[in-house]
Structure 1
Amino acid sequence: MELEPDRPPIPRRCQNLSRAGGLAVPYITPHSRVPLVPGLPDTTHATTAVFGAVDNRRRKIVLRQGRCQVCAQRLEDTAVFLVRPQDRLHGWTPEPAVHPEGCFPYSHAACPMLDGRMPRHRRSPLSLRHLAADGQAPPAWERAEVGGYEPGHAAYAWDAWWVPREQYRLRYSDDGSLLLGLDLRDVVPDRVEHLRDAEGEDPIANGYRFLDAARALFNATGTSLAPHPAPHPTEETGTCPVRTEQ
């Protein structure tokens, strides 16, 4: 997520997070904490954050352990998935989930990509070099392997899906070697909230809007479904359990 300093109120869940520019720094956002008085222990630290980038090691941790990408606390009965039209098309989203209370409203308010204030991704995105200049770059930083956002690309459409805990499943590459993100193929969300439209024409988003409108004609609830809806997991179909970090 790409944040800017509008400084919405920081929720209780996020009070222990580092802060940069008056904003809570999400757990998966690369950041460093540098002493304001070098050489003196226990002094106040200044935080440098690379908003809009992802620490891929931390992304994998929260995905596998079923934690929130913002506060890193465990998800509960319901999680909010952040989903683009192309994620629906592919059947998975690279974004870890967030708590519906606190973390999701805060992310929506603080992130200009989610609420529509930013029309494009940065053409020259901030990089780890900004942290390395402090000599405090996280040693475990990895560039995200999947789901990247191209510099300068027009903003995507975004939806938020309220997903029951029992439908939280991970998606891996076909050979099982790469953790892609959260599986959307069998998800039937309890609720869908449209967060923003794409900047400019988006044929994928337009196609799904048409499909959702058609489904609403035959579904009294008007619930938006994943691209290949399937029954809820049962003992016969089985589920893919959340794996803990080793």
Structure 2
Amino acid sequence: MANAAIPIQFAYAPTHNGMVIPYIALRHADGTPEFGQIDHDRVAECLLEKRCQLCAQRLTDTAVLMARPQDFGAGYGPEPAQHPQCAAYAIRACPMLSGRLPRHRDRTRPQRRQCSRPAACWCGQPTEPSADAIIRSGRAATPWYSVRFPMAEYELKTSARKGPRGISLALTNPKIRLVSWGGPDQADLGRVIVFGLPLPDAGTDG
């Protein structure tokens, strides 16, 4: 499938292989992005400063948060929100959000590719996958929802030890839309029902 067309507002944004590089994307020492992995320092910056995870500009009136059923269970989305127009592009361009990637990548295996500066880069160092990566690796993609809400309700979930954990999903009247259905397991299906999340339209595959 061809890459999604890049909107005019991203005319000067950094790109890689025809895709806009999200601000929070993990980068190698040579500047090459590792799509699907995040820079935790940039995530914290965006959460605290109310910046868009895609373009890094400040969020203004309305924001869109991407969330999985497990995030509704936890009560917060762990990644920064986006401007509505940035979220619309991300939904088209991201293989996971668009439904083009039926399974999570296997993050438990050693990195297959190193950049041109491995000695100065994370990719040249032995690392242990996170607990979340171990749980999700190779499994069917989870459902994804877009949650649109006014910035007046922007509230962070924090912890004394880890700092900002994500954006609270305790919202008054958010507009929740199913973005990609994936292949939910029984736990996710239970959360969808408990939280009254949208289901795929009858006669479609999500």
Q: TM-score range by the shorter chain?
A: 0.7 to 0.9
Residues 28 and 34, structure 2, Cα contact 8 Å, conserved in 1: no
Q: Does 1:170 align with 2:170?
A: no
- Distance of 1:127 and 1:70 partners within structure 2: 24
Residues 164 and 189, structure 1, Cα contact 8 Å, conserved in 2: no
Question: Helix, strand or coil for the counterpart of 1:72?
Answer: coil
Q: Provide structure 2 residue ranges, at least 5 long, that are not aligned to the other structure.
A: 198-206
Q: Does 1:120 align with 2:103?
A: yes
Residues 102 and 141, structure 2, Cα contact 8 Å, conserved in 1: yes
CA-CA distance at 1:32 after TM superposition: 4.4
The amino acid across from 2:106 in the alignment is R
Question: Helix, strand or coil for the counterpart of 2:87?
Answer: helix
RMSD over equivalenced CA pairs, Å: 3.1
Question: Helix, strand or coil for the counterpart of 2:115?
Answer: helix
Which TM-score applies when normalising by structure 1? 0.67
The amino acid across from 1:109 in the alignment is R
The amino acid across from 1:114 in the alignment is L
Cross-structure match for 2:79:
95
Greater Cα radius of gyration, structure 1 or 2: 1
CA-CA distance at 1:136 after TM superposition: 6.4
- Distance of 1:8 and 1:207 partners within structure 2: 31
CA-CA distance at 1:200 after TM superposition: 4.5
The amino acid across from 1:25 in the alignment is I
Cross-structure match for 1:67:
51
1:54-88: CA deviation from partner (whole Å, max 9, x where unpaired):
01111111111000000001111000011111101
Find 1:77's aligned residue among 57, 61, 65.
61
- Distance of 2:49 and 2:195 partners within structure 1: 33
CA-CA distance at 1:15 after TM superposition: 2.7
Cross-structure match for 2:8:
12
Evaluate the alpha carbon distance shift between residue 72 and residue 135 of structure 1 in structure 2; reply closer, same or farther with a 3 A threshold.
farther
CA-CA distance at 1:126 after TM superposition: 7.8
Residues 120 and 154, structure 1, Cα contact 8 Å, conserved in 2: yes
Residues 70 and 191, structure 2, Cα contact 8 Å, conserved in 1: no
Cross-structure match for 2:20:
24
Question: Helix, strand or coil for the counterpart of 1:53?
Answer: strand
CA-CA distance at 1:150 after TM superposition: 2.9
Evaluate the alpha carbon distance shift between residue 18 and residue 146 of structure 1 in structure 2; reply closer, same or farther with a 3 A threshold.
farther
Q: Provide structure 1 residue ranges, at least 5 long, that are not aligned to the other structure.
A: 35-46, 214-246
What does residue range 73-222 of structure 1 map to in structure 2 within 5 Å?
73-101=57-85, 103-124=86-107, 127=111, 130-131=114-115, 133=117, 137=121, 148=133, 150-173=136-159, 175=160, 177-184=162-169, 186-209=170-193, 211-212=195-196
